[in-house]
């Protein structure tokens, strides 16, 4: 059985924190207006006293080489993003990925204590002891410790710089971990 690769969109695939005027090399610009984004923005505009303001599309940078590179890894690919099913509608097609399973987050998110990211307990519960690697820009040492304490299987938590996105080094580390997956450790490097 292949380990799972849990994929966040914003940060790893969309280097949103790069300078707005400097699209990273290899990336293409896309303007998306997913329903969840439009709804969230409409609520915000209404709260700001601008209910008639038009909701502008979200600018997303994607590298089309990432789809084949992800598909070539020895993992079962899973979306672990707040885009949820919209990742299959908007992100996957640009990258050439098939429809992927999605982790659906609870509507009422609970922020864990001690700096643990809200996704971390949800991911561990969802993985249910199965081996996984997780790429996200919000991962910290607190998350690695939490997973080590609460997850019964092997896990790799790899923080991706949201100003850079996935790099060749990240793909190499993921492939190496999957190949050496006989260990029970959580490795963040």
Q: What is the DSSP letter of 98?
A: P
Q: Please give the Cα distance from 158 to 131 (Å, whole number).
A: 14
Residue 84, sorted as left (phi over 0), alpha (psi -120 to 50) or beta, turns out to be: left
3-class DSSP state of 170: helix
The pLDDT of residue 78 is 98
Helix, strand, coil abundance in the chain, percent, nearest 5? 30, 15, 50
Is 180 or 69 the better-scoring residue by pLDDT? 69
pLDDT (mean) for 66-71: 98
The tens digit of pLDDT for each residue in 11-46 reads 999 999 998 888 899 999 999 988 887 787 677 777
Look-up of token digits 């998350």: 143
Q: Please give the Cα distance from 128 to 121 (Å, whole number).
A: 11
- 149 pairs with which residues across the strands? none
Does pLDDT of 170 surpass 70?
Answer: yes
> For domain 4-18+64-179, which CATH number applies: 3.30.70, 2.40.128, 1.10.150, 3.40.50?
3.40.50
The pLDDT of residue 132 is 98
Find out whether 33 and 58 touch, Cβ atoms under 8 Å.
yes
Q: Is 49 exposed, middle or buried (0-12, 13-18, 19+ CB in 10 A)?
A: exposed
């Amino acid at each position: 059985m292949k380990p799972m690769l849990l994929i966040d969109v914003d940060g790893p695939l969309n280097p949103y924190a790069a300078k707005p005027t400097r699209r990273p090399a290899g990336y293409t610009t896309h303007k998306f207006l997913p329903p969840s984004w439009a709804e969230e923005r409409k609520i915000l505009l209404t709260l700001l006293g601008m209910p008639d303001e038009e909701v502008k599309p979200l600018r997303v940078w994607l590298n089309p080489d990432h789809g084949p590179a992800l598909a070539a890894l020895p993992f079962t690919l899973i979306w672990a993003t707040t885009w949820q099913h919209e990742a299959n509608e908007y992100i996957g097609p640009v990258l050439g990925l098939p429809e992927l399973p999605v982790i659906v987050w609870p509507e009422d998110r609970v922020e864990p204590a001690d700096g643990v990211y809200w996704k971390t307990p949800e991911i561990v519960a969802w993985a249910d002891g199965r081996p996984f690697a997780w790429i996200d820009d919000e991962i910290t040492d607190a998350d690695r410790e939490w997973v080590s304490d609460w997850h019964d299987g092997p896990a790799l938590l790899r923080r991706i710089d949201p100003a850079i996105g996935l790099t060749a080094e990240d793909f190499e580390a993921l492939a190496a971990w999957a190949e050496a997956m006989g260990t029970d450790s959580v490795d963040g490097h």
